[in-house]
């Protein structure tokens, strides 16, 4: 989001256009699917703790709901843009389709920095966001969820505001809620675990023992933390991880050649996933530059932060030893970088498959809410594993059969599924 020369929505449209051409989609279907069906821009005025008033800018995009209600997170970020939200809503449409859950794609955001806001101010933003889109979201319309710098606490504030306005209980209006107030066990782990479930299957297909692999991660938020935990549990060796430092407004990579202990690292990490660099140095970690995470001589790279991280400028930094890239983030790899990775024979597990664990578990939360019966954590993660593994092999089989780049195979399956739903409804 910080790179003004990068436009995530143009990238998402370019990816769509290439697959639409391969599928031979008619012009009406292309026009329908290359833009959001609806988008909302609005102001959120709030009274700050010091008594002054400030206006925050909010967004919600609903890309397509042919396969079910729109679904997607809400980001709080100081550099949020409407084009990023548009792109993410489109990617969510393909994500829900590729794992075959009956939902469409949506996304939301607010231009703000939670680092500089009290909890009281954040609550006001959450409630103000809901008031602006109240008539356009709901359990059968559009179901928001947490995303970058939003949490279960933000979701419960939003749900509460919706219920106040509706005058009734609607726990299905939002997912990612706290357990005990309509939330699902396993939701916290879901996205990161889904990343490693897909990696595990890829390694099996390539006849590689995960215990003999090493990995480097970008980002240390919820997705990366849980992916690292499961990867380590399965026997993988973590060499490096990057982390944003808000006080300095820059990222660092920390490295330990003999392996990073995720649990010890969490002891000096704040709630935003920011590692205390001085503490890291005192625990014998090397502190390197922001891009060092992708320069490591490892088998696996897992970008799990923001979009546009592996691009035409940075792809050349990647070691020839890297054989797998698993996209925990949305849109971390640009089409230009994809071309280089194809030539190098790197197996890239695309974002809308690799990180679909979050929306899959959100769907499970909706199901549990609807029947008012909640599963154990083991049941949730088992169902998540089954869904993710099935989707991986469906895409891998097509990729191998047609000799396709895995991202292209995933797009072929998901876009065709959504296009067929639109045609069956008579929209095009």
Active site residue 22: no
Query: 3-state SS string over the chain?
Result: CCCCCCCHHHHHHHHHHHHHHHHCCCHHHHHHHCCCCEEEEEEEEEECCCCCEEEEEEEEEEEECCCCCEEEEEEEECCCCHHHHHHHHHHHHHHHHHCCCCCEEEEEEEECCHHHCCHHHHHHHHHHHHHHHHHHCECCCEEEEECCCCCHHHHHHHHHHHHHHHCCCCHHHCCCCCCCCCCCCCHHHHHHHHHHHHHHHHHHHCCCCHHHCEEEEECCCHHHHHHHHHHHHCCCEEEEEEEEECCCCEEEEEECCCCCCHHHHHCCECCCCCECHHHHHHCCCEEECHHHHHCCCCCEEEECCCCCCECCCCHHHCCCCCCEEECCCCCCECHHHHHHHHHHCCEEECHHHHCCHHHHHHHHHHHHHHHCCCCCHHHHHHHHHHHHHHHHHHHHHHHHHHCCCHHHHHHHHHHHHHHHHHHHHCCC
Catalytic pick from 22, 47, 95, 107?
A: 107
Q: Which residues are catalytic?
A: 107
């Amino acid at each position: 989001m910080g790179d003004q020369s990068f436009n995530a929505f143009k990238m998402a449209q370019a990816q769509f256009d290439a697959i639409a051409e391969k599928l031979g989609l008619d012009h009406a279907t292309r026009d329908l699917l290359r833009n959001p069906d609806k988008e909302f821009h609005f102001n959120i005025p709030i009274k700050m703790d010091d008594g002054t008033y400030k206006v925050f800018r909010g967004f919600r995009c609903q890309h397509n709901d042919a396969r079910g209600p729109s679904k997607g997170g809400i980001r709080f970020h100081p550099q949020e843009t409407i084009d990023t939200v548009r792109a993410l809503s489109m990617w969510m449409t393909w994500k829900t389709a590729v794992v075959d859950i009956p939902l469409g794609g949506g996304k939301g955001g607010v231009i703000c920095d939670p680092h500089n806001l009290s909890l009281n101010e954040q609550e006001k933003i959450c409630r103000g966001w809901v008031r602006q889109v109240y008539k356009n979201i709901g359990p059968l319309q559009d179901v928001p969820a947490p995303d970058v710098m939003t949490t279960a606490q933000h979701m419960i504030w939003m749900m509460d505001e919706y219920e106040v306005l509706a005058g009734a209980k609607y726990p299905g209006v939002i997912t990612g809620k706290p357990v005990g107030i309509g939330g699902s066990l396993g939701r916290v782990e879901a996205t990161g675990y889904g990343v490693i479930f897909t990696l595990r299957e890829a390694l099996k297909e390539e006849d590689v023992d995960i215990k003999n692999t090493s990995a480097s991660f970008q980002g240390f938020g919820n997705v990366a933390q849980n992916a690292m935990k499961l990867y380590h549990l399965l026997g993988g060796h973590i060499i490096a991880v990057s982390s944003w430092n808000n006080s300095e407004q820059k990222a660092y990579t920390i490295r330990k050649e003999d392996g990073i202990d995720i649990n010890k690292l969490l002891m000096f990490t704040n709630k935003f996933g920011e590692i205390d660099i001085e503490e890291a140095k005192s625990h014998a970690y090397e502190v390197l530059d922001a891009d060092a995470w992708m320069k490591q001589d490892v088998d696996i790279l897992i970008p799990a932060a923001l979009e546009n991280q592996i691009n035409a400028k940075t792809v050349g930094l990647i070691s020839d030893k890297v054989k797998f890239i698993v996209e925990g983030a949305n849109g971390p790899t640009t089409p230009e970088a994809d071309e280089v990775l194809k030539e190098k024979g790197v197996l890239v597990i695309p974002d809308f498959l690799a990180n679909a664990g979050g929306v899959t578990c959100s769907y499970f939360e909706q199901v549990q809410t609807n029947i008012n019966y909640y599963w154990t954590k083991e049941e949730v993660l088992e169902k998540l594993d089954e869904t993710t593994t099935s989707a991986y092999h469906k895409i891998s089989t097509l990729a191998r059969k047609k000799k396709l780049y895995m991202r292209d195979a995933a797009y072929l399956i998901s876009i065709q599924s959504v296009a067929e739903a639109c045609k069956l409804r008579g929209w095009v």
